[in-house]
Every structure is written in C-alpha cells, then in structure tokens.
Amino acid sequence: MTKEEKQFIKKHGDLGAALLKQYRLEKAMEAMEDYYQGEFYSQEDFAKSFIRERADEMLPEESYLHYVLSRWCNWAHLGWELFVNDFKYVGVGNKIHVFSAF
C-alpha cells in the first residue's frame, strides 16, 4: 500500500478502504471529492432524502403533488430505480455511502 493510499484511508476511514478495494486511488479520490452524496441506511432511505429535498425546493409544501410524494410514494422501488443508472453505493457496516454515477 502506498503512502497516498494510507493517507486516503486515514482521511476517509472504512469508506476509504472500501473504495480502494474497488477503484484505483485517483478514481477513489475523484469519487469522494466530486460525487459523494452522503451516508444512508438503504437505497430507500436515500430515495426519500433525494426526492423530498428536491420536492421542497420545487413544490409548495401545501401542493397536492408534494402530499402524494411524501405519503404515497413507493420508496423502495424509487430507490431501486435511482440506482439503476444514476447512483451507485459502497456498503460499509450497516450503511451505504452513495455517489452519483462516476
């Protein structure tokens, strides 16, 4: 293991180590700097956060569509859909670390 890889793991902990198992150092650094979306419990958890954040930005809270999204959405399916093409994750422990596709 190189000095730079050790520094990357020191900075990012278990996530850094998991990324280096899958990617070269340069790609892992790029993923953390440019594509990291955060830590979540599941794809469903990420979908809720992702959609609700955007709905709050674009829709008045009292709108019917906002109500439908917040109460009737199939979050598990939407989470699966988001990870088909647009996002990927690295599992660490009982959580996932989400990246926009890179």
The candidate with the shortest Cα–Cα distance to 49, out of 80, 21, 70, 19, is 70
What digits encode the pLDDT tens for the residues 70-92? 667 788 888 999 999 899 999 99
Alpha carbon separation from 82 to 61, 62, 100 (Å, rounded): 23, 26, 10
What digits encode the pLDDT tens for the residues 47-66? 989 887 877 676 666 666 66
pLDDT band at 3 (very low <50, low <70, confident <90, very high): very high
